Amino acid sequence: MGPAIPIGTLTILGPEHMPAGMGLISSVDGIGNVVAGSIIGQIRDRTGSYAVSLWNSTMSAGTATIFFLVTIVIKHRAQRRIIKSDSSEHGFTVTKL
């Protein structure tokens, strides 16, 4: 992941809310790391394979990626609406972003 989480947080929340966003992300990540080992172990004990756990992890990561991308698209569209409404109030048109 590297810099993707801080850059994504900055892009979505902006600099004024980035500390709170990073704190929330770190807290949720920490809780997930503590709980995940027990859950994966229980699934392995019941099924005899790690495959179910790996598929579950893959689906969770895929769902999170989709939510992340949808959030970026929604924010981008909202910013375009703001720019368009500001430009129409001042009598000029933005032709390209």
Give the model confidence (pLDDT) of 3-56 as tens digits.
Answer: 888 988 888 888 999 999 999 999 999 998 999 999 999 999 999 999 999 999
CA distance 87 to 48: 62
For residue 76, the model assigns a pLDDT of 87
CA distance 72 to 79: 11
Q: Note whether residue 8 is domain-resident.
A: no
Q: Note whether residue 94 is domain-resident.
A: no
What residues make up the domain containing 52?
15-89
Which tokens hold the place of 24?
């929330």
Query: What is the DSSP secondary structure assignment for residue 49, as one 8-state letter?
Result: -
CA distance 51 to 27: 27
Q: Note whether residue 19 is domain-resident.
A: yes
CA distance 13 to 7: 10
Q: Note whether residue 4 is domain-resident.
A: no
For residue 88, the model assigns a pLDDT of 63
Q: Note whether residue 63 is domain-resident.
A: yes
pTM of the complete model: 0.56
Q: Note whether residue 5 is domain-resident.
A: no
